[in-house]
Each structure stands twice: as structure tokens, then as C-alpha cells.
Amino acid sequence: MQRTVLVMGSTGKLGEPVARRLKENGFRVRILTRDKDKAGKLFDQSFEIIVGDVLETKDLEKALDSCYGVHISVVPPMIEPPVVEKVVAMASPKGLERITYVSGTNNFEKNTWHDIPRLKLAAEKIIRNSGIPYTIFCPTAAMENLAVYIRGKRASVIGKQPHPLHWYAADDFGRMVAASYHKEEALGKRFFVHGPEGITTHEALRHYCTVFHPEIKKISTIPFWLARIIATISGNKRMKMAIMATSLYEKAGEGGDPAEANRILGAPTITLDEWLERRKSKLSSSRGNGV
């Protein structure tokens, strides 16, 4: 009998490739989403789509019914502890046997001065104390997030961001999460996911602009105080989330050792330049097909 894994956050940049990889690896994949139209465009009829809200108990109960596992990749961080708590509370009556959860590379006790590590670690603690077999993933910066730094005809990095980051591709991440469902050795682990090369945010954005925005010749730096004003006035939720994440990276940099994750699940191999070329080819193909 085919096992079902619920993917929460499947229409996001990290959730979609996880859903696809799980499907490729033989699981039946169930999607819980508030946006039926978006999910319908991303996933074909071989995926089961349930419309609902992760914070609504009745929706979550329906989505978890008869599931072997659940992958939790939801935003913003403020909702994660209550969502995880609901999942854990429903786990036993629903027969849930596996949880995978997306945390982050700099989520350590020493960084709980910041909201993201404080909230993520709270969610992790609920999972660890649940008694349910789990794997926690702590990825660094995703290449897919580089587009957030483009506003109109300007490319701007929030803060000085002096620390090199090992940017990873979401496809590599999806492969690693899906692989963990077939590895007993992955149970009870906290895996750090780092891409194959370290590069600063400014330099990564230069590479991105060279391919997708050659008209942009300069990468600007926006002070945090100004970015917060812009986000507040514009009501830009994506920018507000970017400010939260970059303020943490600015001070804490990148943490964790990816060696164990690389050994058990296979290291990420897609470099930034390779990812840019793949993305460019994919976009060109979509345009050529009238998509």
C-alpha cells in the first residue's frame, strides 16, 4: 500500500520540490493549501490537494487523516510553534509515524535574542518531546530567494551582509528531504544543509543580475532602518520576512556542520552558476511554450 505524506507549505519555494521528490520516490503526496488555484497550477492530478488553513484544527485533522508522515515548511515563524503543537497532538489518533521540519542554519540558543531562532527552537522542542520519529533540517540561504532582492530596476541587499553563505538550490533540498524518508539513519537527526560554495549575498546577487537583469549594473545596500520604513509604507510582506532573515544573517552568519547530512543524504551539488543556467533554460522553455 502506498504511504501518504502531507506537505505543508508545498506552494512555497522549498515546499514544492519536496512534494515532487517525495512523489518521485514512491509516496502519495497530499497538499494542504489556502490557494487552490496556485496549487492546481503547480501540481497535476496525481497530487491530492486539500484546501484549508494550517491553523484551523478541522482542516489539519482532515489533511492528516491516514498519513504516514508530514513535512512542515510553513511561514511566518510566528505560526510555527502552534502549528507543530497541533500536528503533534493529532499524531497518535491519526497514526502519524514521521515528521520532517524545516528550521534554519543559525538556530541556536545563543541566537535566541532574535525571533526566528527563538520560535524555530520552540517548534523543534515540541517535535523532539513528542516521541514521534523526526528529522529536522537546518538549511542556509536558498538561491530561489535571490529574486526578493530585485525591486523594479534596482537590486538591493538589506544590510552589509559580510558573511559568505553556502547558497543551496531548492531541488537539492527536496532530494535530501525525500531521501530522509527512506533512511533509518536519518531519524532523530538535526541536519545542516549547506550548498557547495560560499559566497556573499552581494556577490550572489551580482551573478543573478548578470543572467536575469543585465540592465542592473550596481548592487545597492539598504540600511535596516530604511528597509523597515519601506516595508511598512508599502505593506510588502515578502520584504518584512526578508528583513527578519537578513538581520539574523548580518549578526550571526552561517552556523552548523553539514558533514553528517552530506554523508547520509548526499551533499548538495548544484552551484549558483549551474542553478542560474537551469533557471534561465526553464524560463526560456516556458516562454517558448506560451506559458
* Burial class of residue 264 in the structure, from the number of CB atoms within 10 Å of its CB (0-12 exposed, 13-18 middle, 19+ buried): middle
Q: CA separation (Å) from 211 to 43, 94, 144, 161, 169?
A: 28, 47, 14, 22, 16
Residue 247, in any domain of the structure = no
pLDDT of residue 206: 97
β-bridge pairing 69-72 and 4-8: parallel
Residue 231, in any domain of the structure = no
What residues form DSSP beta bridges with 7? 31, 71
Q: How far is Cα 96 from Cα 197, in angstroms, rounded to an integer?
A: 37
pLDDT in tens, 130-156: 999 999 999 999 999 999 889 889 999
Residue 133, in any domain of the structure = yes
CB atoms within 10 A of CB 266: 12
Long-range residue pairs from 53-62, CB within 8 A, at least 24 positions apart, any chain: 54/8, 54/79, 54/83, 54/86, 55/79, 55/82, 55/83, 55/86, 57/86, 59/32, 60/32, 60/86, 60/87, 60/90, 61/90, 61/94
Residue 30, in any domain of the structure = yes
Domain harbouring 172, CATH code: 3.40.50.720
b/e sequence 204-239, b meaning 16+ C-beta within 10 Å: bbbbbbeebeeebeebeebeeeebbebbeeeebeeb
Q: Give the contacts of 176 (CB within 8 A, at least 6 positions apart).
A: 137, 191, 193, 261, 265, 266, 268
pLDDT of residue 7: 96
| Domain count of the fold of the chain | 1
Residue 208 and residue 146 in contact, taking contact as beta carbons nearer than 8 Å: yes
Residue 94, in any domain of the structure = yes
Residue 189 and residue 103 in contact, taking contact as beta carbons nearer than 8 Å: no
Residue 203, in any domain of the structure = no
Q: CA separation (Å) from 145 to 38, 103, 117, 135?
A: 19, 16, 19, 24
Residue 114: name the closest of 230, 258, 255 by CA. Answer: 255
Q: How far is Cα 7 from Cα 30, in angstroms, rounded to an integer?
A: 6
pLDDT of residue 250: 95
pLDDT of residue 183: 96
pLDDT of residue 92: 87
Q: Which domain holds residue 63?
A: 4-140+167-194+254-268
Residue 7 and residue 31 in contact, taking contact as beta carbons nearer than 8 Å: yes
Write out the three cell numbers for 123. 517548534
Residue 156, in any domain of the structure = no
Ranges of the chain with pLDDT below 50: 291
pLDDT of residue 251: 94
Residue 32: name the closest of 2, 3, 53 by CA. Answer: 53
Q: How far is Cα 214 from Cα 114, in angstroms, rounded to an integer?
A: 36
Residue 104, in any domain of the structure = yes
Residue with cell 517548534: 123
Write out the three cell numbers for 217. 549594473
What residues form DSSP beta bridges with 73? none
pLDDT of residue 240: 85
